Amino acid sequence: IYGHFLGVPVSWREHPFEWIFEQQFSVEREFAPPIPIKRLQTTTRFSPLPNERTKVDVEVHMAPRNLFGSIGGRLLVGQRMLRQLRQAYRELGQRAAMSERVTLPPVRQPRINHQRLRVAAERLRAFGIRETLIDRLTDHLIGADDPQVLKMRAFALADMWGEPRMEVLRMCLYATRTGMLDLEWDVLCPSCRGPSRRAGSLSDLEHDAYCPSCDVRYDTNFDESIEVRFSVNPDIRDAVDVPYCIGGPANTPHIVAQMALPAQSQREVRLRLTPGRYRLRSRQMTGRVAFEAVSSAASRTAHIVFRSESARIDPPIIEAGNVTIIIDNVTDTPALIVIERSEWSAQATSAALVTSLTEFRQLFSSEALSPGVGIAVRSLTFLFSDLKGSTVLYDQIGDSPAYARVRDHFALMSAIIGAHNGSLVKTIGDAVMAVFSSTEAAVAAALEIQREFTLGEMARGNPALRVKLGLHSGPCIAVNANNLLDYFGSTVNIAARVQNESIGGDIVLTDALTDDPPVRSFLERENVRLEPFERELRGLSRQFKLTRVWVMPSMDWLDAPLTEPPGGSTIQSVAGRGAAW
């Protein structure tokens, strides 16, 4: 690593930091000549005190290169650096005592074009964005430090402000169109979770990526390895993208412990683990182990043995809380051991989520992958619809009224899909293909569509529209189709076939949805009737477990003429709350 100290160019080798969550942080640096210090190791330890206070102990070990290093090191390191650290810790403590969230002032005073910012804010208001959100965003762009206005996570901003996540994400998408923010795609390494590359457009993404820090090549996917971030537009504010520290726990919050383990040695570490899934890995070894911390288990101690080709843990399930991890390195290779949470950050905004939003397709219609590039998506939910009897409708009520109803039916479906955080991918004749990142949201949108086209139309004195709906969830491939973002794969094909099993006015779901706990809970709360059945779908050589969902109390309306509201103008309540499985 190269830098400057007191105007003198310096270089040093920085060893991987050691970190134990809530306990200690240690980093060692080896300096090259002419710096008169060979090695400098700083260790910071944290100890809990009463009244939610923390004791901070700092140890500095220094190896001078010569007499000048011995004398100068004691003055610069032993006095100046420690004095500055004490001052910084006291200031942080005071800020923490005054506020639940510590916000550091900007290191430098940025240049802000207030006129452009006001114009961009007015454009946001024209999009119907809530005034409070606009004020929060503009205040943040003016008063936050450079790192806080670059590579921003919309969900992190929402959590910091106490605002709904999806509402803040939508505001950020619109803000890119007003010139307030820029959108970019981070390709994240599955090991270190850091961005191995950054793309300004979907067309810049590729099938795979390489992380030089971890020396691994990996396949990209929309669910985890591609994340959307936002940065302030340079015309609004100048912000310097220079990292304060290239390595440290602040950059890898998923890591709960990272420590050196010499060859043929054992180390015991005590941690406080929250319930969840964890894994242990080392760049020097191929073996990895996974374990889970649960609310109740037989042991709070786990023993891990690392060999050159494998790793073993006993037991794989431990009780969450204060645990003890014993790690044996029985190889002849020193290793850096990492204990990390398996789950990705809940504040990350995945490409799978963003590209499934109506606002994204409206605002970024030109965003598409490069031709020939297909990127995996582990799980999306697809909705296919078709308007049954549209030919008869044209014949019975005339071309102009029928066309108006079909056109309005597309507009209404698009609005309902967007309201449930989905996106209309394309229309094919009278059919619609839509995508959702949430299974529950997809089913909720389907129920609202059917209720609108049956109960809603009947309440307005119109004949019910017989819309066929089918849904399926699973992995797929995101591709470029005619310069638009589209999806292909067996999940998409199954969803289209499932729609063919609908008879109109109903919703057909596969077991991938009905077996999903959030969907099960949602349907149990709704006034619906469920009819499980099995069918071999056209072109597919296996039986599928399907469920027909009815939103009407009876199917008598199916036999009514299209030109008359079935059952008269009175609509009875839907019978039976809950669902029988």
Listed in order, strand segments (DSSP E) in 164-212 are: 181-188, 195-199, 208-211
Give the span between the Cα atoms of 352 and 379, in whole angstroms. 8
**Domain locations in the chain as residue ranges:** 2-98, 114-232, 255-341, 365-559
Give the pLDDT confidence score for residue 575 in this predicted structure. Answer: 29
Please enumerate in sequence order all residues whose Cβ is within 8 A of that of 521, keeping only pairs 6 or more positions apart, or say none.
none
Domain 365-559 sits in CATH 3.90.226.10: no
- Give CA–CA dist 11/558, Å, rounded: 79
Beta strands in 168-283 (DSSP E): 181-188, 195-199, 208-211, 216-219, 226-232, 255-261, 265-273, 276-282
| Order of strands, sheet of 181-188, starting from the edge strand that comes earlier in the sequence | 195-199, 181-188, 226-232
Instruction: Provide the residue-wise pLDDT of the chain in tens; the chain has 581 residues.
Output: 777 766 778 888 888 889 999 999 999 999 998 888 899 999 999 999 998 888 889 888 889 999 888 888 888 777 788 888 888 888 888 877 776 666 666 777 889 999 999 999 999 999 999 999 999 999 999 988 888 999 999 999 999 999 999 999 999 999 999 999 999 999 988 877 778 888 888 888 888 888 887 777 888 888 888 999 999 999 999 988 766 666 678 778 889 999 999 999 999 999 999 999 999 988 888 888 999 999 999 999 999 998 878 889 999 999 999 999 999 999 999 999 999 998 877 888 888 899 889 888 888 877 777 777 778 888 899 999 998 876 666 766 677 777 777 788 888 899 999 999 999 999 887 889 999 999 999 999 999 999 888 877 666 666 667 899 999 999 999 988 888 889 999 999 999 999 999 999 899 999 999 999 999 999 999 988 999 999 988 888 789 999 999 986 545 545 544 433 333 332 222 322 233 32
Please give the C-alpha separations between residue 395 and each of 390, 392, 399, 492, 559, in angstroms, as whole numbers. Answer: 9, 5, 7, 33, 17
* Count of CB atoms situated within 10 Å of the CB of 241: 9
Residue holding tokens 């004691």? 74
DSSP 202: G
pLDDT at 549: 95
- C-alpha angle 51-57-62 in degrees, rounded to nearest 5: 170
- Rounded distance between C-alpha atoms, residue 557 and residue 303, angstroms: 65
Query: Which positions ≥6 away from 57 have C-beta within 8 Å?
Result: 44, 45, 47
